[in-house]
Homo-oligomer: A and B are copies of this chain.
């Protein structure tokens, strides 16, 4: 049995990028509930992300979303963030909120709209140059609602061409990370619905193009850890968007809906070389705190990833291997479950304290008065959400 002390060194340096939009209001098509203390500006979003990092030591980067996080001076934003102890991370593009994109962006049949969508991505690359971000993450809302509405095949060809144009403008070690999604907001067909499609496109682009796996973007019953293993094997897993879901793309707190699935995913990440100093796989959150508080929601999320990473590291891989080789189904399963069922929370608390972090970041945040402070300070103005 592997011990916590043995795996503790591997917890050093774990970093989970948090999304700026998690601190703004979000909801469903039925209602967006606002909450006191919600940021009104990009700076306040960054400040909230920095708070998450301060209490956990796990979130040194904040991902931005363009145009929601457009500012005049990204250098200034960068300094502002760095002063708060965090970096600006992945840049996310958005081609789903302009009226022109009703029938698609990078896939649109109209060359003018396609060019507009391409230009938006080139603008994102400029932002990246200013922020020092490595990754351009592309999630497409493109698709159609009715059979016959769109030329599924032709759109693939146009998408390939658009991506090629964008990819050609990457510089240095910048990467294009293509995200796939099973459904929503399009209902009948989605232009990048599965990892196979994302793979085909990034393979066509080249070495600096990889796939982003959002854990909530699969059909029911999909074995996600298999996809993790496969993409790592093929050298094309670029990033995770962590969250959890019961049915659709619920964007709930990672690990909340099916903790064992998160464990299995992290085990394959580790087993496949996707974790640790040598790996370039980005761990990110992509969540929406529709009914729960936002900063503590993010703290809980990064802690869930950390706790489950510890459990996955605890798997006695030698014993597992032996049981697998012996065809001992129950023995192998038990080795696996032993790690999952190990309660690492007390060990992690001590480990945090030894690093000058709060033993219990959730409680520390609650007792810090931070939430009350921002609720008191952030009065007036317009709370940010997906629209701004």
Contact = CB atoms under 8 A, between A and B. Distances in A.
Interface of A: 26-31, 33-34, 96-97, 99, 102-103, 109, 141, 144-153, 156-157, 182-185, 187-190, 193-197, 199-200, 218-223, 225-227, 229-230, 232-234, 245-248, 250, 252-253, 256-261, 264, 268, 271-272, 290-293, 296-297, 300, 320-321, 323-325, 327, 329-330, 332-337, 340-343, 345, 362, 386
A246 B187 contact: yes
A159 to B, nearest CB: 11
B229 A152 contact: yes
- Of A150, A218, A291, A345, chain B has the most CB atoms within 10 Å of the CB of A291
B109 A325 contact: yes
Contacts of A340: 259
27 contacts: A29-B386, A30-B184, A31-B141, A102-B327, A145-B290, A146-B330, A148-B334, A152-B229, A152-B268, A153-B233, A153-B268, A156-B229, A157-B233, A183-B246, A184-B247, A187-B246, A194-B194, A196-B196, A196-B197, A196-B227, A200-B230, A223-B246, A258-B261, A291-B329, A296-B330, A300-B334, A341-B345
Nearest to A218: B219
Contacts of A219: 218-222
Nearest to A290: B145
B109 A292 contact: no
A368 B333 CA distance: 21
A150 B234 contact: no
A248 B28 contact: no
Nearest to A155: B229
A15 B109 CA distance: 35
A146 B329 contact: yes
Contacts of A31: 96-97, 141, 185
Chain copies in the assembly?
Answer: 4
A117 to B, nearest CB: 14
Given A196-B230, A199-B200, A330-B293, A272 B153 contact: yes
A33 B297 contact: no
A297 B330 contact: yes
Nearest to A263: B147
A200 B34 CA distance: 35
A330 B229 CA distance: 32
Contact of A229 (B30, B99, B153, B182): B153
Contacts of A247: 182-184, 187, 221, 248
A151 B222 CA distance: 18
A274 to B, nearest CB: 11
A289 to B, nearest CB: 9
B153 A183 contact: no
Contacts of A196: 194-197, 199, 227, 230
A256 B264 CA distance: 12
Contact of A221 (B26, B151, B182): B182
Contacts of A28: 29, 184-185
Given A199-B200, A259-B259, 18 more contacts: A30-B386, A31-B97, A33-B102, A102-B291, A102-B327, A145-B252, A145-B290, A146-B252, A146-B329, A148-B337, A153-B271, A187-B246, A219-B221, A258-B261, A296-B330, A297-B330, A300-B330, A341-B343
